[in-house]
Structure 1
Amino acid sequence: MTADKNTDEPALRRDDWGQAGVLSRAEAAADLVTRFASRVPPGTRLGTKDELRARCGVSVGTFNETLRLLQTRGVVTVQRGPGGGLFAAEQTPMARLAHSVLALDASQADVVQALRIRSALEPLLWQDALWHASPADIRELRRHLERMETAAEAGDANAFTRANWRLHAGVADLTPNALLCSLYVALLDLVERHALAVRPQPGVLLAQHVHDRCRLHAALIDTLDKRDEEALMRLIAEHDTTTTADAE
């Protein structure tokens, strides 16, 4: 195949490649619970997990994803035991900042700018991860990577996207800087909610592009394990140049 034909390789579209819509259902449920929480004072009990799941009309697996989104965004807190359930969280300045990012209208310009800011934050997050990741943290990142590789082999775009999201969110969780984590995850949410396609670099086959993304993230995780900051910074630069997205 010639280089010209390679450049015609279609984008990796979540709706065209494998199953579609799983993540959007979780997001829609998260938006619904967010509206509930916004109408009541902080600390108000919203209901049990099963009650809210039934109210949202989603499966157990989808609501687990919803709950993770809600907790990441600082919308709810979870209390165990009798009288427990989901409660409206106190809206900290960091949570309000994250919500302001998610409130953007997600025009193509918004997503492009979000990508630029997210890329600018990547070195800070990965550097913090280099010094704060425990062996257990690194094992968990490798599990996310394995899910990316499995999804790529199966042609499941949503699973690949979710695994990639979780890997990056997992890296963000390792920083002791709560503001950095909150802002980055909000930008990550915005990009993943509205990026419809992942495109390879010109002249690169789509399957090769997906393989390269897995390889790159494997190498990044290896640098955390080895505490190799020089190699980490080289790979972050490569990560930045290969990150592209198309917006609605």
Structure 2
Amino acid sequence: MTTTLPKPRRARAAVTEPPVQPDTTGQLSDNDMYERMISAILDHRLPPGTKLVEDKLAAAFGVSRTRVRPVLVRLANEQVVTLTPNRGASIAQPTPQEALEVFEARRLLEPRLVELFIANATDADIAALRTCIDDEEAARASGDMRRAIRLSGDFHLHIAQAAGHQTLGRILRELVSRTSLILMTYSPSHAREREEATACGCREHRALIDAIRLRDAREAARLMLTHLARIETRLEFTPPAADAPDLAQLLGA
């Protein structure tokens, strides 16, 4: 059976999905299920390639299979889930080309978003960014790298939300979700390198806040470009060389 995706929808009126209450039966709404799956992706709990069996998802959410399918289609439209005819759904596995395109798109969008943030942000918005970085550093110090990576993405999403540009914010939200999959697939393979990358991200976020606090839009845009470029250059598109198999052990009597 061929799965037909719906036509792209018009942009929503807000950067963040509005909260949706469960229906009268007490079950989760479609948006609740969507948000739970996005959270699992951003937290690196659902790695690329994970098979999404509808029966298991329905049981986990306490709903019928027919309720799960529209959620998977929505995630497929945002390119974080792949729907394959006769094979079902799985978490998307971004290719190197897709990874490069996502970062190119972010380099085009985010300098403008940080400029708009500076023009529109209140002191409370800037304080929220500082809190996000404090929490990110605390997570890294405690060894909770999943939470640190999630908070790093939240930093960028908060800038987009407070920038006041609904369309760019909606696009960035999708790109941040796809970036999470890219980082799971192509981040440095060694734990020490991953920790160093996260530490650099915290320092760069603090430098961004310093420029934002001074309302220096040009410097903030420059720092954002540098930050995104550094993340991209750390991606490893060539898999590490595997140790040669011991043929005597494999094939010997």
**TM-score, normalised via structure 2 length:** 0.56
1:128–1:175 contact (8 Å) kept in structure 2? yes
Q: What is the DSSP-based 3-state SS (H/G/I as helix, E as strand, rest coil) of the residue aligned with 1:51?
A: coil
Q: Cα gap change, 1:158/1:51 in structure 2, threshold over 3 Å: closer, same or farther?
A: same
Of residues 52, 61, 75, the one that matches 2:28 is 52
1:153-172: CA deviations, max 9, x gaps? 11211111111111111111
The equivalent of 1:129 in structure 2 is 117
Using the alignment, how far apart are the partners of 2:111 and 2:126 within structure 1? Answer: 17
Aligned partners of 1:118 and 1:187 also within 8 Å: yes
8 A Cα contact 1:145 1:167, kept in partner: yes
Give how far 1:241 is off.
Answer: 2.1
Matched, 1:178 2:136: no
Unpaired runs of at least 5, structure 1: 1-43, 56-61, 70-87, 89-95
CA distance in 2, matches of 1:63, 1:51: 10
> Match for residue 227 of structure 2?
239
Task: Indicate yes or no: 2:135 matched with 1:150.
Answer: no
Report if aligned partners of 1:111, 1:195 keep a CA contact under 8 Å in 2: no
Q: What do you get for the CA RMSD once the two structures are aligned? A: 3.8
CA offsets per residue over residues 100-149 of structure 1, 9 Å max, x none? 44456543132331122122211111111111111111111111101110
Please name the residue that 2:77 is paired with: 99
Deviation at 1:240, TM superposition (A): 2.5
Shift in CA distance, 164/115, structure 1 to aligned 2, threshold 3 Å: same
For 1:159 and 1:97, locate their aligned partners in 2 and report how far apart those are by CA, in whole Å: 22
How far did residue 191 of structure 1 move?
Answer: 1.5
Letter in 2 for 1:198: S
| SS of corresponding position for 1:120 | helix
Note if contact 2:187-2:236 (Cα within 8 Å) is conserved in structure 1.
yes
Amino acid at match of 1:107: P
Instruction: State whether residues 99 and 186 of structure 1, in contact with CA within 8 Å, keep that contact through their aligned partners in structure 2.
Output: no
Which one-letter code corresponds to 1:171 in the other structure? I
**Partner amino acid for 1:99?**
N
Query: Bigger relative contact order, structure 1 or 2, given CA contacts below 8 A and separation 6+?
Result: 1
Instruction: In structure 2, list runs of 5 or more residues that go unmatched.
Output: 1-19, 40-66, 68-73, 83-91, 240-253
Give the % identical residues. Answer: 22
- What residue is the counterpart of 2:247 in the other structure? none
1:148–1:164: 8 Å Cα contact kept in structure 2? Answer: yes
- 1:47 partner letter: D
- 2:63 aligned partner: none
Distance, in Å, in 1 between the alignment partners of 2:76 and 2:227 is 24
Q: Which entry has the higher C-alpha Rg, 1 or 2?
A: 2
TM-score (norm 1): 0.57
Map 1:106-121 → 2, pairs under 5 A = 106-108=93-95, 109-121=97-109
State the aligned residue count: 170
| Preserved CA contact (<8 Å) 1:98 1:182 | no
Distance 1:235 1:160 in 2: 20
In 2, are the aligned partners of 1:98 and 1:186 still within 8 Å (CA)?
A: no
